[in-house]
Amino acid sequence: MTIACIKQVAELFAAPNTCAASVLAGAAFILGAVVALAVRRAVCPCAGKKSAKAGGKAPRPAAPKADKPHPAPADGSIEIYVGNLSYEMTDDQLRKAFEAYGKVNSARIITNRYNNKSKGFGFVHMPDRAEVEAAVAALNDKELLGRRLKCNIARNTL
């Protein structure tokens, strides 16, 4: 603003009739609010979006349920959790360790989907409960390939 404009505004406020000054102040306030809103819309990518909620916040996606049970094996076998496995152990080595105690339907070590490396635990399926209990009792806390195994019946089949 130039000096002349500043003097004119100062004269409006000094005048006995302050109605013009009030109008000017109101107009400046409204103009400032409009400019602030325009700047906000230009800068913030989410400023123009409205959500269905009255609070103005977008609804959060539902969190995945952690307590969803893992399904029991379809063939009726009993699933054994085997933890603290050596990262070098293979599915066949795990199967052979449990076959000493009975028939094994399957043995699988869980791997990382991106690099296909072992996560250090796996599952063994055996059909007979007596054989399962014998294998769990014998192999729990037993050292295999330098690591002490942790074996128990998986929670989905308890």
- Domain residue spans in the chain? 3-43, 78-157
Task: Flag residues of the chain having pLDDT under 70.
Answer: 1-2, 5-6, 8-10, 12-21, 23-24, 26, 45-72, 157-158
Q: How far apart are CA 125 and CA 132, in angstroms?
A: 9
Q: How far apart are CA 83 and CA 122, in angstroms?
A: 6
Report pLDDT for 144: 92
Report pLDDT for 5: 62
Do 57 and 131 meet the contact criterion of CB atoms below 8 Å apart?
no
Report pLDDT for 108: 95
Report pLDDT for 29: 73
Q: How far apart are CA 28 and CA 36, in angstroms?
A: 12
**Chain Cα centroid distance, residue 90:** 30
Report pLDDT for 91: 95
Could you tell me the fold of the domain covering 78-157?
Alpha-Beta Plaits (3.30.70)
pTM for this prediction? 0.55
